[in-house]
Amino acid sequence: MASGSLSAHRSSSWTHQENKLFEKALARFDTETPDRWQNVARAVGGGKSPEEVKRHYEILIEDLCRIDSGYVPIPMLLNLLKM
């Protein structure tokens, strides 16, 4: 975050509720949907911009690729191992 602005900092964190809305919006607005990121941002609410939701999606895909490749353990498995 080069700008260090309050809005950039505030919007970079996602609540559990925002993540759930994000997941539902991704299912509703697939890759063929015109203005997909604007629609997803509107569905998530919380002042998220289309650029923020697109970046959140990109980070999600990067994380999934790391998990699939074995670079990062599956989070649920870590919780079970701690028990």
User: What confidence tens digit (pLDDT) does each residue in 14-28 have?
Assistant: 999 999 999 999 999
Q: Cα 15 to the chain's mean position, in Å? A: 10
User: What confidence tens digit (pLDDT) does each residue in 29-60 have?
Assistant: 999 999 999 999 999 998 999 999 999 999 99
Query: What are the domain boundaries of the chain?
Result: 12-82
What's the topology of domain 12-82?
Arc Repressor Mutant, subunit A (1.10.10)
pTM comes to: 0.70
CA distances from 56 to 23, 37, 40, 50, 62 (A): 11, 11, 11, 10, 10
Read off the tokens for 3. 């700008």
SS3 (DSSP) at 71:
coil
In the structure, what pLDDT confidence band is assigned to residue 69 with cuts at 50, 70 and 90?
A: confident
